[in-house]
Structures are given as C-alpha cells and as structure tokens.
Amino acid sequence: MRYRVPFLAVIALSFAPLPAFATPFVLANDYWGGTNTYNPANGNSIGGGVFTITNAEIQRVNGGNTLEVVINTAYALNAGTDGTGYGALFITPGINAWHPTGTGPNYGTDVYKPGDWQLAATMGLTANSGTGGLYETGGGALGVLTPGKGTIVASNVNGQTVTYPIDPSSGWYFRQGQAVQFNPDSNAAKYLNISDSWSVTAGKITFDIYDGGALGNDFALSWGMTCANDIIAGQVDLLSQTTIGGVPEPSTWAMMILGFAGVGFMTYRRRNQSAALRVA
C-alpha cells in the first residue's frame, strides 16, 4: 500500500487545471482578391496608409467558450475615411472551408461567389465598440436579400457599390466584388443565439464571439473595410498552433501523464530503497 500516495498524486496532477496557452493562430495577409479597378499592380493594399491590414490573430479564450479574432490594421480608429467604414467578419465553419478562385497565395482574381460565406458577425459601420450577433447569411448573391436571413453587401464607398468602370482620372481605386458587410433581415434570428461584441483600439479591431465552442477550431474567415481596399481572408486551424482554453491536445495529455507516472515511479522506488536500507 506504500505506492498508493504517489500513484494518486500522479492521477491528481494529471487532471489538475493548467494555465492557458497564449499563442494565437496568426493568419497572414497574403490575399489580394477582387478586381482592382484601374490599378495595374493589383496589389494587396490599395492606397496603403490607413487601408492596410497586417494580419489576424485568432484564438479561443474564456475556457474555450469565446472565439477571439484580432485584426491588426491601420484602419482601426479610422472608420469614416473617404466614405468608408468597418466591415462584418465573415465565417464558414469546417476543414478546407475556404475555396478562392485563382492561384495562391494572392488569389488576385478572386471575388465573392454565392455560398462562400455562411455566417457573419456584425459590426457597426463607424462605432469603435458595441455588441451584435452572428447571423446566417443565406449565401445569396451580393446585394440580394435572402428572406429571413439578410443581405450580403458588396464593396462600396458612401454606400455606392464599387463597379466598373470608374473614371481613372479621379485617382480613386477600389477592389470590386468583395463581401464586406451583412445586413440582417428584420426577422432574422441569431445563429444558435450567438452574440458578439467588438472593440477598436489603435492598430487593432477585436471581435469576441460568444459561441461556447460551437464554431469549432477549423473555419474560413474574411474581413475588410467597406471599400475593400484591403481584405484578409483564409483558412484557420486553431489546433495547429494553440490549444483551446488551456486544455492540451491529446498528445500533450499523453506526454504529461507519462511524465507524472515517471515521477511517481521514482518516488515509489526511492521509498522502497530507503525501507530496504533501514531493514539492513
């Protein structure tokens, strides 16, 4: 019975609470997408400056119950610039849920296709903080109402959809054909009753989606300002870089249990050796 204490200690330690892992999944902003009107470079950030997105950091917090998405962008605190505003965060759950057209990593010819984005976390056009909800988009065409769901809004300036042609002498460049906002129908219900909140600070736009883990760890996402001068989009796999709410992956659990078992065995062995010496 002398081994019982270390053995129970091993079990207790194996299931003890662990500190949260703080490393988020980082989504690089390699995506160009769209038709870059009158801009032969068809580059990443049209106009640069405040219309620049660096990357996105995604992780689960609050014990895995909240999906946190941080967009690192110079556009933070600059909504309203030249008739533009904050866009919605689009999400499609699943492994390999992102299906852009063209060649990666830039996908310079990709535009929105019906069905691309299943969900949208709403955000105020110019408000730097607030609450909203996660809605099913209905997957309709840009600018077309899906009854009971809502309307996916195309890239626009001052509410006017960006379309070809635009007078090249105006000096204005826009990225056409992108999904940038979502307007829920008047009778639309939140998806699984999931709410979200957002906050904007210098250089960061943060979405907190209170999904209780329902969206999983694999999904595609997209965000941009309403003119779509820069868009970040891609596939996210949270378990490839982090763990949910401080709970290790199964392989980590296995290594921990083996480690604790080794400690318990060595403790048991030393006690037996001490007892043998006393008897001698």
Q: Dump the DSSP string for 168-212.
A: GGG----EES-EEEEEE-TTPPPGGG-EEEEEEETTEEEEEEE-T
Q: Based on the domain organization, do 66 and 192 belong to the same domain?
A: yes
Q: Is 125 domain-assigned?
A: yes
What is the Cα–Cα distance from 58 to 220, expressed in whole angstroms? 11
Pairing of strands 204-210, 89-93: unpaired
Question: How many domains does the chain contain in total?
Answer: 2
Q: Is 7 domain-assigned?
A: no
CB atoms within 10 A of CB 220: 23
Q: Is 19 domain-assigned?
A: no
Domain interval for residue 275: 248-279
In this prediction the pTM is: 0.78
192, two tokens: 């699984």
Q: Is 253 domain-assigned?
A: yes
pLDDT tens by residue, the chain, 280 residues? 444 444 444 444 444 333 344 689 999 999 988 766 555 455 788 888 999 999 999 999 999 999 999 999 999 999 999 999 999 999 999 999 999 998 888 898 899 999 999 999 999 999 999 999 999 999 999 999 999 999 999 999 888 887 655 555 565 667 888 999 999 999 999 999 999 999 999 999 999 999 999 999 999 999 999 999 999 999 999 999 644 433 334 444 444 444 545 545 455 555 555 555 454 5
170, two tokens: 């105006």
Pairing of strands 53-61, 25-28: antiparallel
